[in-house]
Amino acid sequence: MRLAEMAGRRVGVWGYGREGRAAVRAALAAGAAGVEVVDAVPPADLPDGVPAGTDVAALAGCDLVFRSPGISPYREDARALAARTTLTSGTGVALAEFAARDVPTLCVTGTKGKSTTSALAAAVLEAAGRPAVHAGNIGTPLLDVLLDDAVGDGTSLVIEVSSYQAAAVEGWSGWGAVTSLAPEHLDWHGDVDTYYRDKLHVFAACGPGTVVVGPQARSIVERHLDPEVLVDPADVVPEARLAGFRPERLAGVHNVANVHVALAACVRMGVDLDRSAEAVRAAVADFRALPHRLYPVATRDGVTFVDDTLSTTPVSVRAAIDAFAGQQVTLIAGGQDRGLDYTDLAAAVVARGGSVQVLTVPDTGARLAADLRAAAAAAGVEAPVTETGSLADAVAEALRTARPGGLVLLSPGAPSYNRFRNYEELARTYEQILLDAGAQRV
């Protein structure tokens, strides 16, 4: 769907977060005959003439409805609305507009690594003399990028795409990249297979050789996309060549893999690594960890405190502790329970031979602690875990027990909605507790 198709039509907006606000703005700019917003809490800051309510059924009278990403299409009320009107998404509409304008566009997705990889790809394009705008799930809705005319002539677009956004995109064909895949957001998608299918749906119409796929995700992606569409990073940037592009400021082998995917995707988009090698090498070397992704935030008494609050799966926690192999790590983990399996993570922690000590917080902390005790018992060692009742309690225990040269890692392995509004509030609370205890910001 294009913006022009909204002219003279009644447009509904379901959900008034960042993407919902952008959708209202787009509908008004396109000349919609009327715009109506539905949200669990009706917003008070709507433009003049835009009514708001809480009854989803009221949107059935609209010609089309923007469904915000956080609202699952598998909900009963979403299915009922879809049967009565046309549902669309801000990401889908914006992608259609940019495609019509021949804007070179790279969509990056993955369970973990998509933020870092998309940011790296934008940095590589810039270093190679290709101006790039980085947007999407990373923070700026695509519709806002479109309406702000942020993408000029000769500019490429790099988009981080969540599974929620990807599921709603129809018919887009451009460049793609997939970092890693592991079970997540099962409450929204319903089951693991649907999660993978939805996450990869954005690439369903892509042409041969356009989607770079990291090795970890390859076997899963092949079940949902035509193998002819897929490209291995090593077939574009050989492993020997990759060694020349070292991410000096990023911890972990998973970030080396992210660099590989980003470089390969940029080469597929036309970057000449031979001609721009020095500039690209410098961009990769200087690239710093993004906030909330293995990001050092404070130090105290020789202990470094790291924010990895965007780590919401057991797989990402394992990558986090692997990034600090050889160091003494105090891991703080736990959050909203979405039924993920922690047994492999527990086994990996116990296999570290005591170099990782775990402090758990509710709700998933209880299950992780139980799995750690079981893994320790099987190995005949003491369980490296202490259960605590809150983030404040866990940080206090970490401050008491961590030794100089050690590292305290907040990597929840679960979402934070059971105690906090989002991961950002969790991160702010973590940092404030540390500062109140006399830690110094990094």
Q: What is the mean pLDDT of the chain?
A: 96
DSSP 423: H
Instruction: Determine the pLDDT at residue 42.
Output: 86
pLDDT of residue 139 exceeding 90, the answer is no
User: Span 138-154, mean pLDDT?
Assistant: 94
pLDDT of residue 417 exceeding 90, the answer is no
pLDDT of residue 1 exceeding 90, the answer is no
pLDDT of residue 367 exceeding 90, the answer is yes
Nearest CA to 304 among 312, 295, 293? 295
Task: State the pLDDT confidence band at 29, using cuts at 50, 70 and 90.
Answer: very high
Nearest CA to 331 among 397, 405, 251? 397
Q: Which residues contact 83 (CB under 8 A, 6 or more apart)?
A: none
pLDDT digits (tens, 9 = 90+) for 189-241: 999 999 999 999 999 999 999 999 999 999 999 999 999 999 999 999 999 99
User: Span 25-43, mean pLDDT?
Assistant: 95
The amino acid sitting at 91 is T
Instruction: Determine the pLDDT at residue 69.
Output: 95
For helices 253-268 and 314-323, give the axis angle rounded to 10 degrees: 110
pTM above 0.85, yes or no: yes
Is beta strand 303-307 parallel, antiparallel or unpaired with respect to 295-300? Answer: antiparallel
Peptide bond into 187 cis (omega under 30): no
Nearest CA to 119 among 328, 322, 269, 262? 262
Q: Residue 54 burial by CB count (10 A; 0-12/13-18/19+): exposed, middle or buried?
A: exposed
Instruction: Determine the pLDDT at residue 343.
Output: 97
Between CA 338 and CA 188 the distance in angstroms is: 10
Instruction: Determine the pLDDT at residue 138.
Output: 85
User: Span 110-124, mean pLDDT?
Assistant: 96
Between CA 369 and CA 358 the distance in angstroms is: 8
Token pair in block for residue 380? 């005949």
DSSP string, 365-402: HHHHHHHHHHHHHHHTS---EEE-SSHHHHHHHHHHH-
pLDDT of residue 31 exceeding 90, the answer is yes
Instruction: Determine the pLDDT at residue 106.
Output: 98
pLDDT digits (tens, 9 = 90+) for 286-322: 999 888 999 999 999 999 999 999 999 999 999 999 9
Instruction: Determine the pLDDT at residue 254.
Output: 92
Percent of the chain with pLDDT over 90: 94
The answer to whether the CB of 358 falls within 8 A of the CB of 372 is yes
